[in-house]
Amino acid sequence: MQAANPDLEISMSNIYVSQHPLVAHKLTKLRDVNTKPKKFRELVREIAGLLAYEATSDLAIEPIEVQTPLMVTQGAELKEKIGLVPILRAGLGMVEGIWELMPSAEVWHIGLYRDEKTLKPVEYYNKLPTLPTVSVCLVLDPMLATGGSAVATIDILKRWGVHKIKFVGLIGAPEGINNLHSHHPDVPIHLAAVDERLNEHGYILPGLGDAGDREFGTA
């Protein structure tokens, strides 16, 4: 895949960038520096729901019978137990939009922060139970920048015993996409957009700034 910056190639086949007009429309509003925190949170929630709809198109289902007001007919229900794993704190804003689609999904939090000097992830919170209670995990983080937090989170989930994992984010940089793919080539990456590159501080360009700060009004 060709990155927006021709000097940065994305050599992978497991990335899915949404082509939906609503996603493009809402992402443009999300990028706008004039978008206030309340509207920003709404847009994150809405885009997350649209991306999750696309990311879950291959979930296994099983047939069931259902009684309509007129007769019994065949229906279907999800066969797999879904877990949502937002990377704190920015990933929290994506949960509600997906929960509306899958209200029975479990939510497990993993806290990682990026060391501003090394740009490496540091784990500070993990309350996963001893054994996995879900069969599919969606890792949620608005920005796939260096990819360090996503790689660390997926490392944790695989050690936990979950083998079907998908990453869902809003914007990815080529550096982060390549890093995640090189460590976990089996994990599909679902994004609203792929941007040009990272700057010297590890922020995505053109990006949308610090997603967590803009969500929580701490910019």
Please list the active-site residues.
114, 118, 210, 213
The two beta strands, 106-107 and 82-88, are parallel
The two beta strands, 164-168 and 189-191, are parallel
User: What DSSP state is assigned to residue 187?
Assistant: S
Q: How many CB atoms lie within 10 A of CB 185?
A: 10
User: What DSSP state is assigned to residue 5?
Assistant: S
Question: Which backbone phi and psi does 124 adopt, to 5 degrees?
Answer: -130, -5
Q: d(Cα 18, Cα 194) in Å, to the nearest integer?
A: 10
Buried b (16+ CB within 10 A) or exposed e, 138-149: bbbbbbbbbbbb
Q: What is the 3-state secondary structure (H, E, C) of 55-115?
A: HCCCCCEEEEEEECCCCEEEEEEECCCEEEEEEECCCHHHHHHHHCCCCCCEECCEEEEEC
- The helix or strand, by DSSP H or E, that contains position 137, with its residue range, turns out to be strand 136-140
